[in-house]
Chains A and B, each alone.
Chain A
């Protein structure tokens, strides 16, 4: 069975601080996909990144970066120089290859204050 754990319920930082959101997953599958979504107060889930289990390269996109480590079953997300607009709930999710159902973590609420 798949499981995604986001142990950090809420994180508060001051603008320009760096912040890392943790995601730990469990699966018996050899191939799988991992995702991060952002949900601002407006409610829409915004897709951020998709990673397959064969690609352990870290990814950087502007102020966002992702660290995928199969050895620790983690897919952590770092925001560099956080901004107020980064305030949102961030969900990590996992999908088994060939299946459409995503397993979501419980989410981490990030509050960035000016």
Chain B
């Protein structure tokens, strides 16, 4: 079973709202990722958690705040976003954490629109 789930599927928010994206995997994977994908572009890595600790932050603005409550869950808290943050947000997981290049399995994504 290589399933990563994400909620919600679609989200529309105003620039003053606070919202959260959720990601869950039950494959026992120890690394989880957030990606941002704009239309007609490849995914861009935002954050990586390895063994529940933040291991990579690709210089993402502080209006995006990741959280890994446990090894199966990954959240992305959103606050004071800009219209240019509208994109598809993808979550992924891989078997091992730091020091490995394991296959990343992706969720279906959350399509975010910021008004």
Where the two chains meet, the residues of A that have a C-beta atom closer than 8 Å to any C-beta of B are: 32-33, 35, 37, 42-47, 50, 91, 95-102, 104-107
Chain B: which residue is nearest A96 at the CB level?
B101
- Chain B residues with Cβ below 8 Å from A45 are 43, 90, 92, 106
Where the two chains meet, the residues of B that have a C-beta atom closer than 8 Å to any C-beta of A are: 2, 31, 33, 40-43, 45, 48, 50, 55-56, 88, 90, 92, 94, 97-101, 103-109, 111
**Alpha-carbon distance between A77 and B99 when the two chains are bound, in angstroms:** 28
Contact B105 A47 (CB under 8 A): yes
Chain B: which residue is nearest A94 at the CB level?
B101
A47 with B41, Cβ < 8 A, contacts A96-B101, A98-B100, A100-B98 known: no
Contact B109 A44 (CB under 8 A): yes
**Alpha-carbon distance between A102 and B101 when the two chains are bound, in angstroms:** 9
Contact B42 A101 (CB under 8 A): no
Cβ distance B51 to chain A, nearest Cβ, rounded Å: 12
Contact A101 B56 (CB under 8 A): yes
- Chain A residues with Cβ below 8 Å from B99 are 98
Q: Which 10 residue pairs across A and B have the least CB separation, nearest first? A: A104-B42, A45-B106, A95-B101, A44-B108, A43-B109, A33-B101, A50-B103, A98-B99, A100-B48, A43-B88
**Alpha-carbon distance between A102 and B94 when the two chains are bound, in angstroms:** 12
- Chain B residues with Cβ below 8 Å from A98 are 99-101
**Alpha-carbon distance between A42 and B98 when the two chains are bound, in angstroms:** 30
- Chain A residues with Cβ below 8 Å from B109 are 43-44
Contact A101 B106 (CB under 8 A): no
Chain A: which residue is nearest B105 at the CB level?
A47
Contact of A100 (CB < 8 Å), options: B40, B50, B106, B108: B50
